[in-house]
Amino acid sequence: MRSDKITKGVNAAPQRALLYALGLTDEEIGKPLIGIVSSKNDIVPGHMNIDKVVEAVKQGVAMAGGVPIVFPAIAVCDGIAMGHEGMKYSLVTRELIADSTEAMATAHPFDGLVMVPNCDKNVPGLLMAAARLNIPSIFVSGGPMLAGILHGQKISYSNVSEAVSRYKVGEIDDTGLAECTAKACPTCGSCSGMFTANSMNCLTEVLGMGLPGNGTIPAVYSERLRLAKEAGMQIMELVKKDIKPRDIMVKDAFLNALTIDMALGCSTNSMLHLPAIAHECGITLDLALANSISDKTPNLCHLAPAGNHYIEELNEAGGIRAVMHEIDKLGLLHTDLMTCTGKTVKENIEGQEIRDTEVIRPVTNPYSKTGGIAVLKGNLAPDGCVVKRSAVAPEMLHHEGKARVFDCEEDALNAIYDGKINPGEVVVIRYEGPKGGPGMREMLNPTSAIMGSGLGNCVALITDGRFSGATRGAAIGHVSPEAAVGGPIALVEEGDMIEIDIPANTINVKVSDEELAKRKAAWQPRQPRITTGYLARYAKQVTSGASGAVLE
């Protein structure tokens, strides 16, 4: 076992002395040492219950004959960080989480790891760490929040963001805004729609790194604690059989994840995180695959913000296994792959029928014949950009309009709130990419402002930044190359015509090649917005959003 180097033999006597200092007995020191990565903190609603989940994992590990040892991982709440400089630190924590977990698990050679993440960058960061360390690992998330209820209708966090714009245009009053704010997030857990956290927790199941129910069992259900105990017991089986993350996260597993991503209509952030996790597995995941997979994968779910169903309903409808079982009827999945259950994908999903055909539609009656995400390319985004197609109004799938150009999120948001954006226009927000931000901020506030102002069916927004999973509408992010490196988005001028054709997967600025070349010759790099600290180092090392914004 890996832990032998600190538990066995004469040379390990100094390490054993320190293990005694922890209160461990000789009997415990002779058992497998299992690291439990706890993302518990008191500021992220999705993490406030993780201490209970971790305690259940510890019980499971102990019941199965292991010694549970907890250490922490950080997590940022994207909702709390939204709309101010804190959002620059969201994506960048993914690398901090992976690096710090690598450091802890190498300095203290555990025999296996149970990862307990929940919100946003915490999940992919720990998946990256698992792939990098490649020791037996299993995931159990803190679970999703229940939806709020307002006037008999289910709502979520994203409704509050849109309510702010509705308030500013006089559609609701102080009381209406206060009611929505108070009722949108009624429990602990990751926000209740198919936003980034829930997208990644669901895809963790698909990758084979989480037990069935990992992505959908609500945080407040006792079933979540039972799942955590099962994960604690199952890590001991993975250690015994020496089943490692890279045995599970093979290339076909990532193709399965992209396929179910399309069926579910996940957050566009999955197009950043899946390539980054694959990179740690030594796999190049070309986003060009996304469109070919989308072309043959029907979209079976319209979960918030794309529709009015929530993760709790997906759970009751059969969860991720039911979606996978239904998609497998088309022969689109690789089902002979090993998973953390010790069984194959085929064995895991066998007999998992849909229990509610409104929440998970059958392949014979999908919401659309193509998947929920599209990658667009053209002279405005030669390396690609991403849109959550399933959350775009039909009339906006084709759009042509004048560019309204802003060099930061705040300027664009003020223009929207001040009524300066007109129907038919295309809002361009640039210098918000991985290097330019730095940190590739989410643009939920501008997109919510557009929707809340009643412009969702006539105004598009494009950015080299990214979007919250809570975003809906014609919101196109990850434009690559980004403005900070002189990508074409840096060359767009006020009034240029931009043409977006989502079904054709194209996005172009209607300016001649000669004119673009002239503008490129005159372009000068901007001075970095931040020149000290972690963000400055990050900006120097980070790659394009098209390659997952991994660090070189």
Tell me the catalytic residues. Answer: 468
- Asked if residues 133 and 209 have their Cβ atoms less than 8 Å apart, the reply is no
The pair phi, psi for residue 427, each rounded to 5°, is -80, 125
**End-to-end alpha carbon distance in the chain:** 32
DSSP 336: S
The three state secondary structure string of 475-507 is EEEEEECCHHHCCHHHHCCCCCEEEEECCCCEE
Strand partners, 429: 406, 463
Handedness of CA 212, 256, 117, 187 (dihedral sign): negative
Q: Tokens 């066998």 appear where? A: 350
Q: What is the Rg, in whole angstroms, of the alpha carbon atoms belonging to the chain?
A: 23
Report whether the peptide linkage leading into residue 438 is cis, meaning its omega lies within 30 degrees of zero: yes
Q: In 3D, which of 393, 242, 248, 215 has the Cα closest to residue 318? A: 215
3-state DSSP percent of the chain in helix, strand and coil, to 5: 45, 15, 40
Q: Token pair of 109, please?
A: 């050679």
- Asked if residues 71 and 35 have their Cβ atoms less than 8 Å apart, the reply is yes
Q: Token pair of 387, please?
A: 């849109």
Per-position DSSP letters for 215-266, written without gaps between them: TTS-TTSHHHHHHHHHHHHHHHHHHHHT--HHHHS-HHHHHHHHHHHHHHT-
Handedness of CA 131, 137, 138, 143 (dihedral sign): negative
For residue 336, count other CB atoms closer than 10 A to its CB.
10
| Cα 103 from Cα 126, distance rounded (Å) | 12
Please tell me the total number of residues recorded for the chain in this structure: 552
Q: In 3D, which of 173, 172, 179 has the Cα closest to residue 151? A: 179
| Cα 369 from Cα 295, distance rounded (Å) | 8
For residue 400, count other CB atoms closer than 10 A to its CB.
14
